[in-house]
Amino acid sequence: MKSFISKKNLFLIGLVLAIIGIVVNVLFCIVNVEYFKYIGFLDFLTLSSSVVDLGYNQLNYMELIFLLYLIVGLFKFRKTGEDRSGILKFIFSIIGVSSIVSILTLMLFLINITRLYLSDPESFSFLGSTSYPLISAYFLGILSLCSRIFILWLVYRVRDVLKSDEVQNFKNTYAGWKTKNVSHRIVSLRTRLGHRVFDTFLAFLLCKEIVYVLFRLVVEFIDGRSNYFSFSNIANNRIGLNLFFFVSAIIFYLVYSLFYKTTATKYLSRSIVLDSKSFKSPSRAQMLKRTFARFIPFGSFAFLAGKHNGLHDTISKTRVIRLGKLEEGLSQHLPFMIICILCLFGDAILRIYF
């Protein structure tokens, strides 16, 4: 199985994934919803560009931006033989976390449709004319679940291929050194602020779906109704919207801490999280402390006071160290980040006012 994915065929595998994602997005716009549900399992990257309900026959610009950036990263990888820009690590980590979130969401879906069907069989009319609506729903759900599990396995293999010797060499070189000797490697305040802003943005994109499902289940359990709730109900309520972002951030940071021991934007700036004493990879317990300490009010922004450590760094005894050179960082990815954020807010303005 190890020979299935290597540096030689990684370009082809990534390109096939990108093309599949783009084709599915286009088909989403032109085919009838009745037919799309049979190819929806191929939509492996679930990033919604909309802050309100995304309807059918609408292009998902956010997914297209990420898929096109994947192609950019693949050509850079093909040219150099190494992912020195961090684009592939970034995009494949996004795909991996998207798959994990989708798997959890689909499991909730399969559990919930059984409850809905037993209480109200008419609610399955969205599946079209079928004599076996529950079987049809289970088939589509399990098919999508299997496709996400396969993509997650694929991403896991790709992660092994992309593991750079540069990271290990850095750990070996600086292991046991005093902190002052690597002060020139500490990530700048500007880069750390960029991490925080763009990771928060990604948390919404990746976790919107599962948090929406969780909110809907809670509302249905409390209120007993299932057909009136939509994301617009959350967006129009300030407390609900703040809670929505808070839960999204918790899920995002938990998944990244447990599976990657870093966050997505750090791949773009070529930064890593290390133990502040040993300069080795932190334990998962440290990463969990780091994750929950982020939600101490204003704790994550302590580094803006002139320190290089946030409160979550101090509590977890970790440091964020730069792998690349001084001139490398988020600046080369700034156009991509700006386009993504403008796409989100632009979509929101268009849908609200037009």
What confidence category does residue 71 fall into, taking pLDDT thresholds of 50, 70 and 90? very high
- Using only C-alpha atoms, the chain has a radius of gyration, in whole angstroms, of 21
**Same domain assignment for residues 53 and 140:** yes
Of 85-89, 109-113, 248-252, least confident by mean pLDDT is: 109-113
**Same domain assignment for residues 113 and 217:** no
Number of structural domains the chain divides into: 2
Is pLDDT at 93 greater than 60 in this prediction?
yes
Q: Find the Cα–Cα–Cα–Cα dihedral 262, 337, 70, 204, rounded to 10°.
A: 60
**Same domain assignment for residues 32 and 81:** yes
The pLDDT of residue 327 is 46
Segment 300-320 mean pLDDT: 73
pTM over 0.75: yes
Q: In whole angstroms, how far apart are CA 32 and each of 124, 131, 135, 139? A: 18, 21, 21, 19
**Domain interval for residue 317:** 164-354
Instruction: Specify the length of the chain in residues.
Output: 354
Q: Among positive and negative, which fits the CA dihedral 310, 259, 65, 52?
A: negative
The pLDDT of residue 129 is 46
Of 87-91, 207-211, 246-250, least confident by mean pLDDT is: 207-211
Query: 322 has which bridge partners?
Result: 271
Segment 219-238 mean pLDDT: 62
Domain end, chosen from 144, 163, 182, is at: 163
Segment 294-315 mean pLDDT: 71
Distance (Å, whole) CA 225 – CA 275: 49
Domain end, chosen from 136, 163, 190, is at: 163
Is pLDDT at 264 greater than 70 in this prediction?
yes
Structure tokens at 74: 């693949």
What confidence category does residue 300 fall into, taking pLDDT thresholds of 50, 70 and 90? low
Is pLDDT at 292 greater than 80 in this prediction?
yes
Segment 257-281 mean pLDDT: 85
Domain end, chosen from 163, 185, 212, is at: 163
The answer to whether 289 touches 240, Cβ cutoff 8 Å, is no
What confidence category does residue 51 fall into, taking pLDDT thresholds of 50, 70 and 90? very low
**Same domain assignment for residues 126 and 154:** yes
**Same domain assignment for residues 133 and 20:** yes
**Same domain assignment for residues 262 and 219:** yes
**Same domain assignment for residues 216 and 75:** no
Query: 213 has which bridge partners?
Result: none
Per-residue H/E/C for 45-58? CCCCCCCCCCCCCC
Percent of the residues in the chain that have a pLDDT greater than 90, as a whole number: 10
CA atoms within 13 A on the CB side of 300: 19
**Same domain assignment for residues 197 and 343:** yes
Of 187-191, 224-228, 268-272, least confident by mean pLDDT is: 224-228
The answer to whether 49 touches 344, Cβ cutoff 8 Å, is yes
